[in-house]
Amino acid sequence: MTITATERGPTADVLDRMGSEGDGESDGRHRYRVSESGPGAVVDLDVDPDAARGSMGVGCVHHVAFRTPNDETQAEWQRELRDAGLQVTEVKDRQYFPAIYFREPGGVLFEIATDRPGFTRNEDRESLGEDLKLPPWLEDDRRTIEANLPELESAARAGR
């Protein structure tokens, strides 16, 4: 994951506050290790003083998500980030996990979500992704949403 900022300091301060560790620098790109391994273990902070603020569209990432194991640690993050002067949302129910959001000083939207209840809340692990699951507030639009999705063939269905 790469975040582009016009200056390093304010964004780096938030990444440091969140427990990441600097892991080198090359050509204006500063690497931060946010976990030991797995997806999202590394965040690169690309510093470009002339960078324009991103806009929504194809290829744009809406936010950067971080995970925390439970509601208690999420509440601790919420308090600590607020104490640091950041405007952090109340906890939002995202059906599969509660989440909080804030913009770091460079303008990037950060999310901190819990691991639970998770995507197996309404289907078992073996059938994850076989059916389109929508939150209740989108059920009235199911036909329109399904009509606009591309047809996909899973490896399991293709006999692979």
> Residue 88 has which token pair?
């952090």
Q: What pLDDT is recorded for position 114? A: 93
Q: What is the DSSP string of the chain?
A: -EEEES-SHHHHHHHHHTT-EEEEEETTEEEEE-SSSSTT-EEEEEE-TTPPPP-SSTT----EEEEESSHHHHHHHHHHHHHTT---PPPEE-SSSEEEEEE-TTS-EEEEEES-S-GGGSS-GGGTTSS----GGGGGGHHHHHHTSPP---TTTTT-
The domain spans of the chain are 1-49, 59-122+130-160
> Residue 82 has which token pair?
């607020």
> Residue 142 has which token pair?
């199911």
Low-confidence residues of the chain: pLDDT under 50: none
Q: What pLDDT is recorded for position 86? A: 94
Pick the CATH number of 59-122+130-160 from 3.10.180.10, 3.40.630.40, 3.40.50.150, 3.40.80.10: 3.10.180.10
In tens, the pLDDT along 63-102 reads 888 889 999 999 999 999 999 999 999 999 888 899 999 9
pTM: 0.77
Do residues 14 and 112 make contact, with C-beta atoms less than 8 angstroms apart?
A: no
Q: What pLDDT is recorded for position 59? A: 67
Cβ-based neighbours of 31, under 8 Å, separated by 6 or more? 22, 23, 24, 25, 42, 43, 44, 45
Distance, CA of 115 to CA of 66 (rounded, Å): 10
